[in-house]
Structure 1
Amino acid sequence: MFRFMLRRDRVQLPVWILGIVLPIVGTLAAYESLYSTAAERQESAAMMSSPAAISMTGPEFYLEDYTLGAMMGHQMLGFMGIVVALMSVLLIVRHTRKEEETGRTELVRASVTGRHANTTAVLMLAVAVNLVVALVVAVGLGATGAESITWEGSFLYGAALAVIGLAFSGLTLLFVQLLEHARGAIGISTGMIAIAYTLRAIGDMGEEFFSWISPIGWAQQTAVYLDNLWWPLFIGLAFFLVMAAIAYPLSTKRDVGAGMIPPRRGKASASAALTNPLGLAYRLQRTNLIVWSFAMLLFGIAYGSFLGEADKMIESIGDYAEEMLPALEGISLADSFAAMFISIASIVATIPALQSILRLRGEEKEGRLDGMLAGALSRYRLLGSYVAAALINTMILLFMAGLGMGIAGSQSMDNSAYLTDLMIAGLSYTPALWVVIGVAVALIGLVPRATSFSWAVLVFAFLVIYLGGALQMPEWVMKISPYQHIARFPAEEFNWVPLFWLTAIAAALIAVGMYSFRRRDISM
């Protein structure tokens, strides 16, 4: 079974590994070129010492001696940890819950295979893939020979990424036993990634305890390329073993295709909402939407609570404060931080929004669209229902992020105006998310096998916000991201014009996708 899983993922796994290694090595090369002297690196450290920057990157202790290695540990380890965690989540769900939904697990279990064979094989695969990622990252970094990039630090860097992947592999394996459907397991597991990132951000901005209950925080506490502490990784390994130990016996206490949490008994007859495709689309995504809405609310509250301390926290910038403050002339620090936090929230909200529209492609691959389209339901109406659900979901998620940040921000600032301003600021990113959804719809219609590449838009947008300034990206490159065209309200004046053009682009992409979907064959 382990060999069969490798055979099925012979294309996916190399793509994932290259997608993790190349940005890491490429970023190191860019840092080496852009920050060739210690003075330039320390100037960058001063710029990265603001609370907003720390919340996006990592702990402040990396900034004390900002070598190339410290820059990689501070700015890239947490971000690439998210990618490794996402890879691990999708890998576990693909070979467990999705296999049960298609009926293949039942056929395999009917043969001479043990009850734990599938679970053991997928854990072997998760461990192997994360070990390969660790090894390739370590060799890729160490072979550069860059200043302060030691071999010990490089192997610790790779191991930290692997431990993040293993921690979320074990957690996802537990959710797979508890939940009945793959979409629920993916939704809650990816939601936990967002929560782990938020806990790490809160911890790094002052409440250190929260960093120690996040797998991403465990990796960054290794002080890679500085003190090279290996012991925090043992917390992640212990967490992985505990999750796996809990999941193993649960897999034998449930029926194949069922979850430990029994589904709520439905009504004797379908509601009026389920008699139309939009109602069905929302019913399939209900759990994911609820979990992510709650996560975005907490995300907003966590960041909004720091706005009242903006003036005090800016003192941590030190000697370079005067160089940074002119750019903020006439704008309160709280407004600047709020605008930055909202932009981060918009990136995070894109994850469930994309999951919402890509659910249609999953239904197609699983062969469930044929039965729906065999009746009077048109393709326009079917795809349109998923598009409508995704578009509405973006507004809900951004509203929840703005609401949470507004509630906490207005309390910390003792200014009720922040509640309305931050809700408007959150909703202002809606057209940018619609553009990403438009790209996904266009791919579903034109090149259905390439729909997963719609995630590249999100990754690029995150890189622009996360590393655009550090890598000194050209302005025209940064403007490719739809998020860069949104005014940073309330730090900047609200501007309707970009919202209009982004909405028009999204509408054009959706129209192309729907027209192409109507003309192509339904595939699996």
Structure 2
Amino acid sequence: MNGTGTLLRLALRRDRLVLAIWIVLLSIVPAATVGSYDQFYPTAASRAGLAAGAAANPSFALLYGPAFDLTTAGGFIAWRMGGLLALLTGLMAVFTLTRHTRAEEDSGRAELLASAVVGRYALLTSAVLVTGGASVLIGLLQAGTMIAAKLPVAGSFALGASTALSGLVFTAVAAVAVQLAEYSRTANGIGTAVVGVAFLLRGAGDSATNAHWLSWLSPLGWAQQVRPFAGERWWVLALPLATALVLGAVGYALLPRRDVGVGLVPPRLGRPEAADSLRSPFALSWRLQRGPLFGWLVGLAVGGALFGSIASGISGLVGGTEQTRQIFERLGGTNGLVDAFLATMVSLFAMLASLYGVQAILRMRAEETSMRLEPLLATRVGRLRWAASHLVFAFLGTALLVLVGGLLLGVANGLRSGDVGRSVGDLITGVLVQVPAAWVVVAVSALLFGLLPRAAGAAWGVAALALLISLFGPVVNAPQAVLDVSPFQHPPKLPGQVFTGLPLILLLAVAVLALGAGMAGWRRRDVG
């Protein structure tokens, strides 16, 4: 364990921005939505309608889990947000632990540290402490903020504990994945796949009539079976705790069985010579970017189909008060709650697709810092040609993701409403007007890469800030000046609003200027 404290401080210093964003975002969301519950459901009749609407549509159970008590603000938050918070905390845990373990081995820094007075378990232990500590802190802050919002103490701590223990479970999952995989991308893939399987098991168990036992196989299902604010079942917390301890012990047991920089599962050997399909910068970029692109495509396609299937019944779920309509109008759309819901979902898909764009841009920085770029630039490949091969995926891939999500959203809604053609046409138009806003986030990431490469990771902060303002600003009645900071607030929200082209022209101009400045900086600065 020698050197654990020093590596812990190093990890905290490196993650002081990204980890802080995760913690703040996941901690304040439950308490920030307490006030909106009374606006959406001010009467006993509206709350009874909410419960009836949730029970009548299995899609809601698939997305949000079982609704144990929707007559209180706490029970509503636990239903709508408990599973999502556990899922996002799990993703945070996987990405954070992998970044401070397997990614360090990929870059060669772990081997350099191992040559000093650093114990074999120090790197993994420091990463576990950072990741697990962040999960516990998120849970404690959730509980504290909900108590401050005058929710019951027991339910607040139950929800916070379920979130924290979900993070600890997936911290242990990542600890095993980094021992098995040869590269950080593979370890992240294993970890996120486990999170995805956990979500599918939970969704299948909660939505199926005779297969509720499936949700008990999922850590995300355990988080909801604690039943915060609905007669807490504290004993369920023993399941994620025991799982985290067992998987963590397996990760530590596997660690000494492999060399630094090598996984227990060896990768498939490549060809002795590159195939013809790899003999250009664009082909190499495709090879590097295709995995994340396909993963995001599947995720948004599934999300579009799920949300489209519940759109026609959204009015029964959210209620029909004037306050509800005003909130949804600020979120997007004016001609009915269904149009408002669809417009909000399209905007959400654009926000999520911008995260892929940020990931694609930061892939350029990863190639640079890993010293794989310099040998490439020593050939006839120029800087801008290399950058363009990645930017194609960052920008066009982002547009493709929004288009696929919107297309599936329209098809699923059309099948439920009986008018597929009109639904798809409206949603495609709504998708296209959201693309410039997503491109602004991607272009700002390219700007950071070109002008401030050491701060390129702040692109995640830019994207998170835009998402936070757009998702929760309207719900908490944030001032319009604050809402305008997010590019996703400016496109017309279709279907529902009148199309206006000026905001789109301005957003495209901002994206072009940011991209041009970033590429100008990339041409002039040193590599690395």
Q: d(CA) in 2 for partners of 1:479 and 1:214?
A: 40
Deviation larger for 275-284 or 372-381: 372-381
RMSD after superposition:
4.3
User: Residues 58, 344 of structure 1: CA spacing in aligned structure 2 closer, same or farther, 3 A cutoff?
Assistant: farther
Q: d(CA) in 2 for partners of 1:413 and 1:220?
A: 31
Please report how far the alpha carbon of residue 472 of structure 1 lies from its aligned counterpart in structure 2 after TM superposition: 0.6
Please report how far the alpha carbon of residue 515 of structure 1 lies from its aligned counterpart in structure 2 after TM superposition: 0.8
Q: d(CA) in 2 for partners of 1:215 and 1:428?
A: 38
Q: Does the CA contact (< 8 Å) of 1:442 and 1:512 recur in 2?
A: yes
Q: What SS class does the counterpart of residue 158 from structure 1 fall into?
A: helix
Code of the residue aligned with 1:9 in structure 2: it is A
1:281-318 CA-to-partner distances (Å, cap 9, x unmatched) read 221222222222222222222222324xx24x533455
Q: Does the CA contact (< 8 Å) of 1:399 and 1:427 recur in 2?
A: yes
Code of the residue aligned with 2:237 in structure 1: it is L
**Which residue does 1:373 correspond to in 2?**
377
**Which residue does 1:147 correspond to in 2?**
150
Q: What SS class does the counterpart of residue 227 from structure 1 fall into?
A: coil
Please report how far the alpha carbon of residue 514 of structure 1 lies from its aligned counterpart in structure 2 after TM superposition: 0.8
**Which residue does 2:177 correspond to in 1?**
175
Q: d(CA) in 1 for partners of 2:150 and 2:346?
A: 36
User: Residues 112, 329 of structure 1: CA spacing in aligned structure 2 closer, same or farther, 3 A cutoff?
Assistant: closer
Q: d(CA) in 2 for partners of 1:202 and 1:324?
A: 32
> 5+ unaligned residues in a row in structure 1: which ranges?
none
Say yes or no: does 1:354 pair with 2:358.
yes
1:26-81 CA-to-partner distances (Å, cap 9, x unmatched) read 6688678x67xx96584399599587999998865564122xx5576567655654
Please report how far the alpha carbon of residue 132 of structure 1 lies from its aligned counterpart in structure 2 after TM superposition: 4.3
Aligned mate of 2:98, from 90, 93, 97: 93
TM-score (norm 1): 0.80
Q: d(CA) in 2 for partners of 1:41 and 1:351?
A: 30
Q: Does the CA contact (< 8 Å) of 2:304 and 2:405 recur in 1?
A: yes
Q: What SS class does the counterpart of residue 514 from structure 1 fall into?
A: helix
Aligned mate of 1:466, from 462, 471, 488: 471
Please report how far the alpha carbon of residue 101 of structure 1 lies from its aligned counterpart in structure 2 after TM superposition: 1.2
Deviation larger for 389-398 or 197-206: 197-206
Aligned mate of 1:393, from 390, 397, 403: 397
Say yes or no: does 1:339 pair with 2:340.
no
The percentage of counterpart residues that share the same residue type is 32
Please report how far the alpha carbon of residue 452 of structure 1 lies from its aligned counterpart in structure 2 after TM superposition: 1.9
User: Residues 461, 156 of structure 1: CA spacing in aligned structure 2 closer, same or farther, 3 A cutoff?
Assistant: same
**Which residue does 1:315 correspond to in 2?**
316
TM-score (norm 2): 0.79
Q: d(CA) in 1 for partners of 2:322 and 2:131?
A: 45
Q: Does the CA contact (< 8 Å) of 1:5 and 1:95 recur in 2?
A: no
- Alignment of structure 1 residues 199-218 onto 2, 5 Å: 215-216=219-220, 218=222
Q: What SS class does the counterpart of residue 383 from structure 1 fall into?
A: helix
Q: d(CA) in 1 for partners of 2:320 and 2:404?
A: 37
- Alignment of structure 1 residues 74-223 onto 2, 5 Å: 81=86, 84-106=89-111, 118-119=123-124, 122-135=127-140, 138=143, 144=148, 146-148=149-151, 150=153, 152-186=154-188, 189-190=191-192, 215-216=219-220, 218-223=222-227
> 5+ unaligned residues in a row in structure 2: which ranges?
none
Please report how far the alpha carbon of residue 511 of structure 1 lies from its aligned counterpart in structure 2 after TM superposition: 0.6
User: Residues 441, 224 of structure 1: CA spacing in aligned structure 2 closer, same or farther, 3 A cutoff?
Assistant: same
Q: What SS class does the counterpart of residue 471 from structure 1 fall into?
A: coil
1:149-203 CA-to-partner distances (Å, cap 9, x unmatched) read 53x4444343233212112223333433444321343356457657767887898
User: Residues 190, 462 of structure 1: CA spacing in aligned structure 2 closer, same or farther, 3 A cutoff?
Assistant: farther
User: Residues 15, 260 of structure 1: CA spacing in aligned structure 2 closer, same or farther, 3 A cutoff?
Assistant: same
Q: Does the CA contact (< 8 Å) of 1:137 and 1:158 recur in 2?
A: yes
Aligned mate of 1:520, from 503, 522, 525: 525
Q: Does the CA contact (< 8 Å) of 1:42 and 1:65 recur in 2?
A: no
**Which residue does 2:288 correspond to in 1?**
284
Q: What SS class does the counterpart of residue 261 from structure 2 fall into?
A: coil
Deviation larger for 344-353 or 385-394: 344-353
**Which residue does 2:11 correspond to in 1?**
9
Q: d(CA) in 1 for partners of 2:194 and 2:435?
A: 23
Q: Does the CA contact (< 8 Å) of 2:31 and 2:142 recur in 1?
A: no
